[in-house]
Structure 1
Amino acid sequence: MKYKKWIEQMTLEEKASLMSGKDFWQTQDIERLGINSIFLADGPHGIRRQAVAADKLGLNEGMPATCYPTAATVANSWNAELGEKVGEYLGEEALAQRVNVLLGPGVNMKRNPLCGRNFEYFSEDPYLAGKMAAGYIRGIQSHGISACVKHFAANNQEEKRMTIDTIVDERTLRELYLTAFEICVEEGKTKSIMSSYNKLNGTYTNEHMHLMQDILRNEWGYTGTVITEWGGSNDRVQGLLAGNELEMPTTAGETDKEIVDAIKSGQLSEEVLDEAVDRLLDLIFSTEAAFQKPIGQFDVEKHHRVSQKVAEESIVLLKNDENILPLKFGKKVAVVGEFAQNARYQGAGSSIVNPTILDHTMDCFEESGIVSIGYEPGFERYGKKNQQKIDQACELAQKADVVLLYIGLDEATEADGLDRKNMKIPDNQIDLLEALYEVNTNIIAIISCGSAVEMPWIGKVKGLLHGYLGGQAGARAILRVLSGDVNPSGKLAESYPLRYEDTPSYKHFPGKEATVEYRESLYIGYRYYDTAEVDVLFPFGFGLSYTSFEYTDLKVDRKGVTFQLTNTGDRAGMEVAQLYVGCTSDNIFRPKKELKGFKKVFINAGESKHVRIPFDNKTFRYFNVKTNKWEIEEAYYTIMIGASSADIKLQQQWFAEGTNAPLPYEKEKLPSYYSGKVNDVSVEEFEQLIGRKIPEPTWDRTQPLGYNDTIAQCQYAKGWFGRVAYYSIIQTQRFLRKIGKRSTANIMDMSILNLPFRGIARMTGGIVNMPMLDGILLMVNGHFFKGLWQVTKEKAKLIKAKRKSKADLMKN
């Protein structure tokens, strides 16, 4: 152990105390040994260190910090070096705000377009997500502090996220849902990882020995700290056994006592606790060292300019009919859309950043060179119909050569804690578009949102620019692309289906009660669309430019591929060349092609560049469920170089020697998986894939409610108290939505309805303890007065204990 001398000086109680937080954002300190608290803060795309009342999770404004584009945006740059630059600037700001651990980046897969937190994740592809995230981690940790990769693992829906059981086969888990984390550990060298809320195949992730020990610690060699999601600890002792060191937030010593009692009873070895303390001390001491040198304030203007540069490189041009873009000099432009006046630039929930500066479109026109003849909002931001605003927008549009229409999703639609209801842009915005089209067909739509949307209206726009959520400088970045000052180079890091029903997980998202079944297995995103030959609106990796590129002269060798890339247009630009690999053998089911490398290249007009993309240990591998390890199938592989997953420019066959592993499947028993047509897999075939019976997907309504049941389940509680509480919450939500307080109603979904009962104790910082929670459960389950007496009695005990502790402290 690295810190054995410190650990030997600690009492058992002191060691246990380090295993949970001091408050909502700080770790526990041991003053007599010189062990300080360290501070953890949200920060996937900007530091959110709360300025006041830091015990109120997520409800207060953070100290001003640069709001960079979200991960979903930066992933469209396909530039890991750019990701590293973002990380460097995030790390610098974290240092300035005395933040030791930055809670990000998030690398969960975009299994389904409706996941409410997709704006915070990179991609539907684990290779791209992992490479981008590793760049962020290297940048953040270059300042000596720690990144904290999240959410480990298979957390791909927000609804019921604290209790849902993810049912997924082992191969899919390893190849899709863990690969990005693997890259973050092996290449990013992340110092900390956050375990997710959900169960994985029946066990909460932070207690999952296979996930936490077999894979993370033993196979990947991870020696850093694992931190729970806030309130994500179920059984504290089991979590510690699995290697989950730090529980956040504080439980006011309640779970510390559980650890002490488990050691005294022999349930837990003290050596396990010592190892956990050692790893946590390494995180504390190594990040504290970063604050030993003088730390100044960061350059606000410089960081704002960096945010703009990142946004510029991440904007995706999706349509450019008649070369309507870039805008020709002297064109009269009408600006329409609420998002032009008040930019939609970040997601909602735990990642909200209080920006240092905030650009708005209407304030940036003068420097852009674009001639605006006026602005009209055109629609109500949160979906309410308003014909007068449409009429006023059309009146302005009639006078213009071109209409810039700013549309997208509002802040209450994409948020931490809830999933989207559909893939549509609100009807009132589409009503506006259709009305504008009647008076002016030269429409350029600018979309602001953090995830894929349906576009049945796309025929009514000539230009389509997707800015995603571009951070505090995103509005200016978009204008620079519209004007032609910047040549767009972003490419989609996710597929855009024609309609939501085309997605492979459509019938199994989200899990509504006890479980969510990943019946589609390996086939998410382009892996499904390309294999099952399902048409999409925009394929993975797609993006237009103001110039053109030609690919020639592919050569393949044992170490990788080389080819020539030529800019055949009349202006400089950047192209993202993508390496895909597909196996020609059908002995093992696989997607038609999988991303195995990429490179972004800047090329001047008329210039050619020699490009090399290397192979690595992930190029030909697959996970064999019989040998329980990574194998290579001996076969011919198609090596493909493309401008997108659907636009393959060059290809060549290559023979790879195998590892002679036994075939993992009986082909005739898995027909859907061998065809790739997995949108309607039967129960029997899915059970054949996972090798066991699937668990019951619904809640057991016959049993009393317990610690891991949600407050939403009070709708069928045996006691009137539980049912009254549930329907009171529902009525309050309806009222809030009716008066336009959608964000507040959403918070009730996230922090009340979908909260498991144990979360009442885990998230209240000791105000409610487990004995009091037992009383609440008695009340909910039909024993109101008995439960009320227990709550009252235990509350009195808690108050008495706190007074005694305070008195003892004053004596000492």
Structure 2
Amino acid sequence: MKYKVIIDNLTPEEKVRLITGKNVWETYPIERLNIPSVFMADGPHGIRRQVDTGDNLGINQSYPSTLYPSSSLSGCSFDENLMFELGKHLAMEAKEQGVNLVLGPGINIKRHPLGGRNFEYFSEDPLVSGRLAKAWIKGIESEGVGACVKHFTCNNQETNRFLMNSLVDERTLNEIYLRPFKIALEAKPSALMTSYNRLNGRYVHANADLIKKVRTEWGFQGCLISDWGAVDDRVASLAGGLDLEMPSSGDYYFNKIKQAIKQKTLSERSLDEAVNHVLDLVFKLGPKKPLKPKGGNESKYHELAYRIASESMVLLQNKGILPLKKPEKVMLIGDLLKKPRLQGGGSSHIIPRKVDYVLDLIDNYASDLTYLENETDVLKGNCQTELEQAEKIILVLGLNEEDETEGTDRVTLDLPLKQRSLVEKLKPYLGKTVLVLMTGSVVIIPERENFGGVVLAGLMGQAGAKALLDILYGTVNPSGKLTETYADALEDYPATPFFGGKTENVPYAEGIFVGYRYFLTKPKEVAYPFGYGLSYTEFRYQTIKGNRSTLTEGTNLKVTVSVANVGAMAGKETVQLYLRKVNSRIIRPNKVLIDFQKVLIQPGKTAELDFFVPSDAFAVYDEKVHDYIIEPGEYEIIAGGNCLDEPLVFKVFFGKETEAQINPESLDEYMRVEGLAQRMGSLPTIPKRKRPYTLNDSFRILRKNILGRLLFAVIKNQALKLSRRSREAWMKKVIKATLLDTPLRTLAVMSSGALTLKQAEGLIDLINGKFSSGIKKLKNKA
């Protein structure tokens, strides 16, 4: 072990202290051995260092910091260099705020568009998620600040997230849900955060097989950290390979760990290995830095936030209405112009240093402008004359704040009722209307095909207003591309029957057919496909060639694609490379993304791009051999501007060509729960909870008991009292919904000592009718 000398000098108590947090955000220091503490903070799109009381929902106050576009938008840039810059600048700001370890990036797959936390994640595609995260990590680590990749793994919904059991077959797990983490860990981040959920019956933080894969197969040497309040059994998690439990669980587990080592149910080596990884983290990143909230780089940060927004916004529709011209008589409509949606809610929610507003900037772009301050005037029909006189209308719509927040999932893809009614009233004028969407996840656009233009502005961060106006008025040529599929209906998504709900067992019956992988294979028409995005110029895909037509395992293929800008404006194009197996005997998607590059092309010029495709890009996971294999036969390499686009195709062979094509009926059979059970042998479900109640039960279960209902009422009222935003009706709903899904053990460790785990045990005893032992434990603060 790297720190064996130090470990040998630690007392048993000091070892246990090191593997649990000092408080909500810090590791435990051992001053006598000069072991420092490191400070952590959330930070996928901005540093959230809290001022006083820590929480994991963004409820309490934090120091102001730069609010960058959310990952759901920045991912649409498809720009790894830009993500490196984002990581680097986040690290610079982290150092100013005394933060050693930034909890990000979040790279969970967008399995379903109703996921309440989708705005924090890059894509439905594992390659895009992994590559962008890898660049982000390299940027942050280059400044001596650590990145903590999260949430490992299959944490794809907020409903019942603490207790849910994701049922995932081995192939799907490897091809879809583990792959982004494997790619991201190539950047050697300082830490990896395990998720709340179970996977196939076992909590991820205590899953020795999964953690062994990360350590031995992937070679990850960093620190494995629990999500906040995730650990249900510290002894089991230590045995499984988890290093650091966050936040502090006090002294609750000290005697349990000591007794487990004595009884040989836990090896002392497991404890020492965890201590070794924690020491590696704190010596690499520590000591804790002083707080310097203003470092003099604010304008530099703001400029980067603008660039990311301008490179990421997606032009979804344009019937010649865009770009707008300054002399045109323009009407602005939308309450979100006054209070724009810039970010999602929860642990990533930050206080921005400054915010640009469209209403403050638009006079620099438009010379004849009318702003309709109240949407209700349109609904009441009070502004028909103004609507008729306007040459162009900019309509800004989006989701409510409570629709995109940690702790709850959405229940519909529809925009709010008031906004849908607004579109209905504007129906005669939609041809001259540009719809701007301020959303961090997929929505169904009413009257979509009738709008003159549609721009996805996303959750655009503090500098997004200028980026939006620059795109609307043509100063910037839009170049964003969708990283997730916009379908026409909720029921079109294959995971819809299995998503959310109140049951703990969640079958991933759709398997590998996530997002575009399903829609291309079914096939099924969508509103906007994965990888899609328009430009103000025109790109023409001209040629594709490869350096060989036959491949063997271990050889690489060089593919060269030439793309011309035949329009009148310089523009950036994301050239996407897809792979299709011809006549496959293995059930697989019609095609999958295997590479991408973003390139700036001047008008009249041609760009030639080289792609280096390793042979393992052709591989699929075989559950029989528990490894990747390459099916022999003919393949097509397809270059295009989105997943439906196939202007260029290059054929290549692996060995002999295969024979029969798969039965198209097999896709539907594959995606049934029975199909999942067949692939897994059996479904490792967890039984429905029954009495006696335990610390691991959520209030959704505990409320079945009258004492549980009383306890929930007390805790909910206390949470609302402490929340600085509890007067907002939507925040009250989010707090209630989150508390319902939270186990009592998690509430205890997140209470900053207000409720110890021993006292929580006492409450459980009371609920179970064990009044004597319950009262005794409640009196015990240890």
TM-score by length of 1: 0.90
Partner of 2:176, secondary structure, is helix
**Deviation for aligned residue 1:710:** 1.4
Q: For the residues of structure 2 that align with 1:292 and 1:59, how far apart are their CA atoms?
A: 24
| Backbone CA RMSD of aligned residues | 2.7
Per-residue CA distance 1:116-137 (angstroms, 9 max, x = gap): 0000000000001100000100
CA contact (8 A) 1:378 1:393 kept: no
Shift of the 439–559 alpha-carbon distance from structure 1 to 2, 3 Å rule, reads: closer
Aligned partner letter, 1:755: T
Give the match for residue 324 of structure 1: 321
CA contact (8 A) 2:766 2:774 kept: no
Deviation larger for 593-602 or 762-771: 762-771
Deviations 1:419-456 (A, max 9, x none): 00100111101211222233574110100010111123
Q: Deviations over 1:51-79 (max 9, x none)?
A: 22347863222111111111110110111
| Residue 777 of structure 1: aligned partner | 764
Give 1:720 shift.
2.6
Distance 1:27 1:578, change over 3 A: same
Q: Cα distance 1:151–1:671, how it changes in 2: closer, same or farther (>3 A)?
A: farther
C-alpha separation in 2, matches of 1:690 and 1:568: 51
Alignment of 1:545-564 (within 5 A): 545-557=535-547, 558-564=556-562
1:641 corresponds to which of 634, 639, 642 = 639
Alpha-carbon deviations, 1:498-548, whole Å to 9, x = none? 111100011111142121000000001000000001110000000000000
CA distance in 1, matches of 2:422, 2:451: 12
Corresponding residue of 2:79: 79
| Residues 221-260 of structure 1 mapped to structure 2, 5 A cutoff | 221-260=219-258
Query: Whole-Å Cα distance in 2 between the matches of residues 729 and 283 of structure 1?
Result: 35
1:210-221 to 2 correspondence within 5 Å? Answer: 210-213=209-212, 215-221=213-219
**Contact kept? 2:116, 2:408, Cα under 8 Å:** yes
SS at match of 1:577: strand
Once residues 363 and 745 of structure 1 are traced to their aligned partners in structure 2, the CA distance between those partners, rounded to angstroms, is 33
Verify: 1:361 aligned to 2:358, yes or no.
yes
1:754 aligns with 2:741: yes
Q: Which amino acid aligns with 2:306?
A: Q
- Bigger CA drift: 245-254 or 553-562? 553-562
Distance 1:503 1:439, change over 3 A: closer
Paired with 2:360 and 2:486, the residues of 1 have a C-alpha distance of 32
1:149 matched residue in structure 2: 149
Contact 1:335/1:372, CA 8 A, preserved across alignment: no
Tell me how far 1:564 sits from its aligned partner. Answer: 1.1
Q: How far apart are the structure 1 equivalents of 2:719 and 2:443?
A: 26
Q: Name which of structure 1's ranges 77-86 and 397-406 shifts more when overlaid on structure 2.
A: 397-406
**Distance in 2, Cα, partners of 1:733 & 1:274:** 37
Contact 1:443 1:461 in 2 (8 A): yes
Aligned equivalent of 2:198: 199
Residue in structure 2 matched with residue 721 of structure 1 by the alignment? 707
CA distance in 1, matches of 2:525, 2:378: 38
Q: Which residue of 1 aligns with 2:366?
A: 370
**2:144 partner amino acid:** G
Check conservation: 1:733, 1:745, Cα contact below 8 A: no
Match among 702, 707, 711 for residue 695 of structure 2: 707
1:269-302 C-alpha deviation (Å, 9 max, x unpaired): 2121111111111111111279699998141011
Question: Mean alpha-carbon deviation: is it higher for 702-711 or for 582-591?
Answer: 702-711
Match of 2:346 in 1: 349
8 Å Cα contact 1:722/1:779 also seen in 2: no
1:740, distance to aligned residue in structure 2 (A): 5.6
Residues 175, 84 of structure 1: alpha-carbon distance in 2 compared, 3 angstrom cutoff: same
Distance verdict in 2 for CA 1:145–1:256, change over 3 Å? farther
Number of residue pairs aligned between Structure 1 and Structure 2: 770
- Measure, in 1, the Cα distance between the counterparts of 2:717 and 2:48: 32
Residue 479 of structure 1 deviates from its aligned partner by 0.3
Query: What letter matches 1:713 in structure 2?
Result: I
Question: Which stretch has the larger CA shift, 56-65 or 100-109?
Answer: 56-65
Counterpart of 1:780 in structure 2: which amino acid?
I
Q: Deviations over 1:578-602 (max 9, x none)?
A: 0000111422111000000000010
> Aligned to 1:329, what secondary structure does the other structure show?
coil
Structure 2 residue aligned with 1:307: 305
Structure 1 residue 759 displacement after superposition: 1.8
Match in the other structure for 1:436: 426
SS in 1 for 2:205: helix
Q: Is the 8 A contact 2:762 2:773 kept in 1?
A: yes
Q: What pairs up with 1:497-536 in 2 under 5 angstroms?
A: 497-536=487-526
Quick one: distance in 2 between partners of 1:49 and 1:393? Answer: 46
What is the CA-CA distance between 1:251 and the residue it aligns to? 1.2
Mean alpha-carbon deviation: is it higher for 770-779 or for 703-712?
A: 770-779
* Amino acid paired to 2:436: I
Determine helix, strand or coil for the equivalent of 1:638.
strand
Partner amino acid for 1:223? Answer: Q
Give the structure 2 partner of residue 743 of structure 1: 731
Check conservation: 2:420, 2:446, Cα contact below 8 A: no
Q: Equivalents in 1 of 2:630, 2:716: separation in Å?
A: 53
For 2:581 and 2:406, locate their aligned partners in 1 and report how far apart those are by CA, in whole Å. 38
CA contact (8 A) 1:578 1:641 kept: yes
Within 1, Cα distance between the matches of 2:572 and 2:429? Answer: 36
CA 1:16 to 1:375, structure 2 compared with 1: closer, same or farther past 3 Å? same
Spell out, residue by residue over 1:245-290, the C-alpha distance to the aligned partner (whole angstroms, 9 max, x if none).
Answer: 1111111221233222322332222121111111111111111279
Contact 1:343 1:475 survives alignment (8 Å): no
- Residues 118-197 of structure 1: pairs in structure 2 closer than 5 A: 118-186=118-186, 188-197=187-196
1:10-29 to 2 correspondences below 5 Å: 10-29=10-29
**In structure 1, C-alpha distance between the alignment counterparts of 2:216 and 2:346, rounded to whole Å:** 34
CA shift, 1:776, in A, is 1.8
Q: Which residue of 1 aligns with 2:682?
A: 692
Q: Can you list the C-alpha shifts for 1:737-769, whole angstroms capped at 9, x where unaligned?
A: 99961112212211x100113223332234333
> Structure 1 residues 98-107 or 759-768, which shifts more?
759-768
Where 2:780 maps in the other structure, the secondary structure is helix
Query: What residue number does 1:335 align with?
Result: 332
> How far apart, in 2, do the equivalents of 1:545 and 1:683 lie?
42
- Greater alpha carbon shift after TM alignment, 445-454 vs 613-622: 613-622
Deviation, 1:682, is 3.7
Q: How does 1:560-709 map to 2 (within 5 A)?
A: 560-616=558-614, 618-657=616-655, 675-677=666-668, 681-693=671-683, 695=685, 699-700=688-689, 702-709=690-697
TM-superposed deviation, 1:777: 2.1
Aligned to 1:45: 45
- The alignment partner of 1:605 has SS state of coil
- Given the alignment of the two structures, is residue 414 of structure 1 paired with residue 415 of structure 2, yes or no? no
Q: Does the CA-based 8 Å contact 1:712-1:754 persist in structure 2?
A: yes
How far residue 460 of structure 1 moved from its aligned partner, in angstroms, is: 3.3
Are 2:85 and 1:98 equivalent residues in the alignment?
Answer: no
CA–CA separation in structure 2 for the residues paired with 1:54 and 1:501? 39
Which residue does the alignment assign to 1:807? Answer: none
Q: Which runs of 5+ in 2 are unaligned?
A: 548-555
- Deviation for aligned residue 1:653: 1.4
Q: 1:447 aligns with which of 426, 433, 437?
A: 437
Distance 1:526 1:236, change over 3 A: same
Please give the alpha-carbon distance, in whole angstroms, between the structure 2 residues aligned to 1:295 and 1:189.
28
Query: Deviations for 1:14-34, whole angstroms, at most 9, x for unmatched residues?
Result: 011101110100010111111
Q: Helix, strand or coil for the counterpart of 1:651?
A: strand
Q: Residue 415 of structure 2 contacts residue 444 of structure 2 at CA under 8 Å; is this kept in 1?
A: yes
